[in-house]
Structure 1
């Protein structure tokens, strides 16, 4: 069995001319009879962009949160105010307090906004599904839950901590991805891929008995990756040979150019708000 899908980019760092951009990510996915919102962006552009794209947020069947950073969960309260019935799927650690500590920058709280936390905490167990385990929306749509970190050269992609003082590292265990079984093969949808690209893709392949990966869409969090990590990622993707990769948000513009130059057998594109991607 397989299904076709259509993905609409609602929020991203870049946008089509008539849409708004932000530091955030949100996809609306139509697949297998379901309407899924994958992340909500930072909350700045979700509603105006959805209106311009004629995406009716009241029709959503599911809201999937890839992890608990503000740029992926900032619109949660807006969604739940507009849609009283959608199922919300997240990892139990999605509500964790989180901070980034970059050199020569002020410490920044980067966890889920307070309003979004409150909106989630008001949901009952029928509507809110928090689990670290693999779960399924349908026979063709799966969510990884916790992704095992077997490739140790892949890190979370930044100086992330659970406390303002920087005493406790945040390994972002709530990072999860979604996959769709399409006629061309598995299509993987990523938020920021803090678990690592190889870790995530290999785990999804393991869950699908080594099925072919047709495409990857989302943030790869390679903006500040080491040369070793970039080299190993490119080597892996060359062997994987997906038909397409659409990267954006936290990937890094220079990294997308590098992937395009090195992956000659893969169509590499950069997504932006307003773009529609899907199977024919």
Structure 2
């Protein structure tokens, strides 16, 4: 499996030709499929794709991890560049999504034009589904472990008023290959430990070749603060060491400070995936 980072908050130092944005988009090439996992907040991933040898027109299926703009709003451009792929996302009540902190409020939700104008390309998943052979969109995510503390700044607004975001719009992507699993987390608002636990429960005894995506360990993104304490992040790293995971690849909402703390614990098992990264799993 080859995974190419089309969009992340940062880029490889030697790829100044690539654009960046605060978002995430990964192209996944398996033996039989081209998969797009998340699409950033705009058209940036489409601009970067040809520079990275990725043909967006050849994508077979696309998956949206959750309904925050920096992961899904690029789908508006995707359906115009690709004429065949369905876009899978979790079915949930329609709400507005916001970041709120210290009197500041910002809409971070999905572009509703996407929901209305996708010409039937959106597929709403209400239960765990094998969306392609050995490609699983998992909707029921464990709640055994605490969710990221940075979630406390994220809210929904519906006819019931303001509520803390429960992330009932988040799903987990797992691809099963002959030699093990690859887990894709998006932002892991449900908690990366909960996501790994979920994959282990669905596929007991399977080797986990890699966990890929954001872990949402950032607190206030503007200041790259960490959600929680330094010890919380190190404890997370120690907990991840208890699972049969070969490698963890992360970026985006993990945050640079939290990444550094995790790196102290996980060492070579942890790598960053800035824009332009290509990894073979």
Q: CA deviation at 1:237?
A: 1.0
- Backbone CA RMSD of aligned residues: 2.2
Q: 1:272 aligns with which of 271, 274, 278?
A: 274
Which residue of 2 is the match for residue 174 of structure 1? 169
Q: CA deviation at 1:34?
A: 1.0
Q: Which moved more, 1:36-45 or 1:143-152?
A: 143-152
Q: 2:105 aligns with which of 85, 104, 107?
A: 107
1:9 maps onto 2:11 in alignment: no
Q: CA deviation at 1:156?
A: 6.5
Specify whether residues 213 and 159 from structure 1 end up closer, same or farther in structure 2 by C-alpha distance, changes over 3 A only. same
Q: CA deviation at 1:268?
A: 1.3
Q: 1:185 aligns with which of 180, 184, 188?
A: 180
Q: CA deviation at 1:263?
A: 1.6
SS in 2 for 1:254: helix
Q: CA deviation at 1:10?
A: 0.3
Which residue of 1 is the match for residue 115 of structure 2? 117
Q: TM-score, normalised by structure 2?
A: 0.88
1:151 maps onto 2:145 in alignment: yes
Q: CA deviation at 1:31?
A: 1.3
CA distance in 2 between counterparts of 1:79 and 1:260 reads 34
Q: CA deviation at 1:275?
A: 0.8
SS in 1 for 2:261: helix
Q: 1:253 aligns with which of 251, 256, 260?
A: 256
Specify whether residues 75 and 151 from structure 1 end up closer, same or farther in structure 2 by C-alpha distance, changes over 3 A only. same
Q: 1:203 aligns with which of 177, 198, 204?
A: 198
Can you give the 5+ residue segments of structure 1 that lack an aligned partner in the other structure? none
Can you give the 5+ residue segments of structure 2 that lack an aligned partner in the other structure? 220-226
Which residue of 1 is the match for residue 214 of structure 2? 219
Q: CA deviation at 1:232?
A: 3.5
Q: CA deviation at 1:32?
A: 3.8
Q: CA deviation at 1:129?
A: 2.1
CA distance in 1 between counterparts of 2:259 and 2:217 reads 9
Q: Which moved more, 1:223-232 or 1:45-54?
A: 223-232
SS in 1 for 2:242: helix
> How many pairs are equivalent?
269
CA distance in 2 between counterparts of 1:231 and 1:88 reads 36
Q: Which moved more, 1:148-157 or 1:199-208?
A: 148-157
